[in-house]
């Protein structure tokens, strides 16, 4: 079942949280003079129009990136994230939104490699077109990202950020994420892994996060950004979370500095709040 199209959601509050954190991790990894890989198990289309097609139907970006676009009081991590969004909108009008592969390609050193997996035929084609001139630096594959991950870990430079960002339309994705992490840590224990997840009123999410917290890893960070009060009917996404295995040690402080501002700016109602939980395992 491949009905999910990320174009409907491009630039929404969940993308803001995910991509802001992605940029922070890549900038941190880039500080060392040693190469690293970026691996995206569920890469999407690479870039999205906000003025044509699917995004205009839902206009989720209006309550996401658009709320930040004109602000002049940006915390440094938000300013850095918006720098990349501006790179795809050089005339200053917010018309396009970069996907996670674009954020990576733009923020990584030109000699560092990206491995991108996408199963949907149309998004796979768009992703390929997006990076058609990238040569061997960026490899795009039409494969199941959960399966492909097993075959490429550990990556040759022994340093990497792995982004795991499934649609979760199939409830099985919650357990697939846990299984993929257990497998991946056996092959590549020192990698940094960032897992996006939705905040919905479903038991599978709590179960997944509890299992991620029990992984045998050096450290983890779990952060959430809720933008609205969960609905009485029990439907809809009220926020999102990022679970990061082996995060940069600087990330908890950056998020504690940034999320109060971001929560206020992205709040839809008084139910908005955020959390940051960090643990180092002995």
Residues in binding site: 19, 42, 100, 118, 144-145, 165
Q: Catalytic: 165?
A: yes
Considering only residues 90 through 109, tell me which ones interact with ligand SAM, judged by CB under 6 A.
99-100
Cβ proximity of 187 and 153 under 8 Å: yes
Kindly state the smallest distance separating residue 33's Cβ from ligand SAM, in Å. 28
> Looking at beta carbons only, is 13 or 42 nearer to ligand SAM?
42
Q: Which is nearer to ligand SAM, 194 or 227 (CB)?
A: 194
**Torsion angle of C-alpha atoms 228, 10, 163, 168, degrees rounded to 10:** 60
Decide if residue 81 touches ligand SAM (CB under 6 A).
no
30/105 Cα distance (integer angstroms): 12
Considering the rule CB under 6 A, would residue 175 count as an interface residue with ligand SAM? no
Exactly one of 36, 131, 146, 188 binds ligand SAM (CB under 6 A); that residue is: 146
223, containing H or E segment = strand 219-226
Q: How far apart are the first and last CA of the chain?
A: 41
| Binding status of residue 13 toward ligand SAM by CB under 6 A | no
Measured torsion, CA atoms of residues 259, 268, 58, 3, in degrees rounded to the nearest 10: 60
Q: Is 8 in the site for ligand SAM (CB under 6 A)?
A: no
Q: Round to whole Å and give the CA distance between 144 and 41.
A: 8
CA atoms within 13 A on the CB side of 173: 19
In the complex with ligand SAM, the residue whose CB is nearer, 9 or 228, is 9
117 sits near ligand SAM (criterion: CB under 6 A): yes
**Residue 178: how many other CB atoms lie within 10 Å:** 19
CA distance 25 to 249: 10
Q: Which stretch binds ligand SAM (CB under 6 A): 28-36, 117-125, 211-219, 241-249?
A: 117-125
The nearer residue to ligand SAM, 99 or 247, going by C-beta atoms, is 99
The closest of 262, 278, 276, 270 to 16, measured between CA atoms, is 262
Q: Does 240 bind ligand SAM (CB under 6 A)?
A: no
- Name the minimum Å distance from CB 106 to ligand SAM: 13
Selecting among 40, 123, 165, 222, the annotated active-site residue is 165
Could you give the residue numbers annotated as active site? Answer: 165
Residues of the shown chain interacting with ligand SAM in the complex, contacts defined by CB under 6 A: 2, 4, 6, 18, 40, 42-44, 99-100, 117-120, 123, 144-146, 165-167
């Amino acid at each position: 079942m491949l009905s999910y199209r990320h174009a409907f959601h491009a630039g929404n509050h969940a993308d803001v949280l995910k991509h802001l954190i992605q940029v922070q991790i890549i900038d941190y990894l880039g500080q060392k003079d040693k190469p690293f890989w970026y691996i995206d198990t569920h890469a999407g289309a690479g870039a999205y129009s906000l003025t044509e097609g699917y995004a205009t139907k839902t206009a989720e970006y209006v309550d996401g990136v658009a709320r930040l676009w004109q602000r002049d009081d940006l915390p440094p991590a938000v300013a850095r994230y918006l720098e990349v969004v501006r790179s795809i909108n050089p005339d200053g009008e917010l018309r396009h939104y970069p996907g996670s592969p674009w954020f990576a390609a733009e923020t990584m050193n030109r000699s560092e490699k990206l491995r991108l997996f996408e199963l949907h035929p149309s998004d796979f084609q768009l992703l390929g077109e997006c990076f058609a001139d990238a040569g061997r630096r960026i490899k795009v594959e039409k494969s199941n990202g959960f399966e492909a991950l097993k075959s490429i870990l550990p990556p040759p430079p022994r340093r990497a950020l792995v982004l795991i960002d499934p649609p979760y339309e199939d409830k099985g994705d919650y357990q697939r994420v846990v299984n993929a992490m257990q497998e991946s840590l056996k092959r590549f224990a020192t990698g940094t892994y960032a897992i996006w997840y939705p905040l919905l009123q479903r038991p599978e999410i709590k179960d997944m996060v509890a299992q991620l917290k029990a992984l045998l890893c050096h450290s983890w960070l779990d952060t959430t950004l809720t933008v609205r009060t969960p609905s009485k009917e029990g439907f809809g996404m009220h926020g999102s979370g990022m679970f990061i295995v082996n995060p940069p040690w600087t990330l908890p402080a950056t998020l504690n500095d940034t999320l109060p501002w971001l929560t206020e700016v992205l709040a839809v109602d008084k139910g908005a709040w955020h959390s940051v939980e960090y643990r180092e395992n002995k």
